[in-house]
Amino acid sequence: MTASVSAPTHTVRIGSRKSQLALVQTYWVQAELQKQFPELTFEIHTMATQGDKILDVALAKIGDKGLFTKELEVGMLSHETDLAVHSLKDLPTNLPEGLTLGCITERENPADALVVHEKHRDKQLETLPPGAVIGTSSLRRLAQLRYHFPHLEFKDIRGNLNTRLQKLDEGGYDAIILAFAGLHRLEMGDRIHQVISPEVSLHAVGQGALGIECREGDQRILEVVQALEHTPTAQRCLAERSFLRELEGGCQVPIGVNTAIDKGQLTLIGMVASLDGQKLIKDTVIGASENAEQLGKDLANQLRQQGAQDILDEIFAMIQRG
Ligand code: DPM
């Protein structure tokens, strides 16, 4: 079935980062939209974001929210582009005035994945030797893995997926942790050595889903992007984003989640951990999936009552000190 739009123009301009992963994701959105709206033309406009330009500084130290999204947002606000495709987990929970999250697409496997150096091919996360060096720039992965495996060492790693895999293969690390979804989308799923269970690592808010951002009130574009909305994913991600927003966490905080929907009931698990791996607070809420946002707030309050805010305040203070 083909939806119809009363378009004043037949061209829709899509903003995207230039990274290989961003482009694969944007091409997918372009192709799906083209199928639904054969009468429209979808153009891709690539832009470099701050996060693409600063490669030598640990992400948490840059700390700026919207590191991978700001330039794309300016493009929409200045009407150079009409929508932007993001990895949902890179999209801050509070968007600039005038922009809205128009669509959340169907989620890939949101789990984290372990990729090991060749010499550890017979090992699992559980059996890596003491002192093994794990590459990650994610405070969330670091804190959870330290909590579960205090004998492992951690070292920052930056760059795109290929760069990271190369640094691993060259021996700079014993293993690295990456999102299953990114490796899979780049057809590098064969590098996944172990899918890490949610008992060990709760994934980032929005991980594995794409978010399409557009101008608020731009009915023509909203109608177009909503064709790609996947309701169960959207409900899960809205709960996750509401949880993160309520805890005032940016995209670089040791906060993890897991969600599932069964017979209209949404289960949301969330955790906050300290960077030294000493403290980890985790809890669960269950409720109607239509109340996704409220569930996220409820869980944030539950965790706060158990001391989550103290952990986060300590981390914010530490990051600010640099
Ligand atoms: C965010 C984090 C990372 C990205 C932090 C986190 C990972 C940083 C790192 C918010 N964004 O997950 O705790 O490991 O150094 C990113 C990836 C994807 C989107 C790559 C990855 C692909 C998967 C997806 C970077 N953003 O996590 O390995 O679409 O979910």
> Domains of the chain by range and CATH?
1-105+209-229 (3.40.190.10), 112-195 (3.40.190.10), 230-322 (3.30.160.40)
| pLDDT score, position 257 | 98
| pLDDT score, position 52 | 72
Which two three-digit tokens encode residue 202? 């709760």
User: CA neighbours within 13 Å on the CB side: how many for 37?
Assistant: 21
E strands in 107-209: 112-116, 133-135, 153-155, 175-179, 194-195
| pLDDT score, position 59 | 52
The CA distance from 311 to 275, in Å, is 9
| pLDDT score, position 1 | 43
Round to the nearest angstrom and report the end-to-end CA distance of the chain: 54
| pLDDT score, position 174 | 98
Buried b or exposed e, range 209-243, using 16+ CB within 10 angstroms: bbbbbbbeebebbbbbbeebebeebbbbbbbbbbb
Give the pTM.
0.93
Q: Which of 57, 72, 89 to mutate to test the pocket of ligand 1 (most atoms within 8 A of CB)?
A: 89
Residues at CB less than 6 angstroms from ligand 1: 87, 89-90, 136-138, 140-141, 178-179, 181-182, 204, 207-208, 251
Query: DSSP readout, 43-60?
Result: EEEEE--HHHH--SS-HH
Pairing of strands 175-179, 41-47: unpaired
Low-confidence ranges of the chain (pLDDT < 50): 1-7, 62-63
Output the average pLDDT for the chain. Answer: 92
**Could you tell me if 309 and 248 are in contact, meaning their C-beta atoms sit under 8 angstroms apart?**
no
Catalytic residue among 52, 64, 90, 169: 90
Tell how far the Cα of 72 is from the centroid of ligand 1, in angstroms: 18
| pLDDT score, position 54 | 62
Backbone angle region of 19, left / alpha / beta, with phi > 0 → left and psi within -120 to 50 → alpha: beta
**Could you tell me if 172 and 178 are in contact, meaning their C-beta atoms sit under 8 angstroms apart?**
no
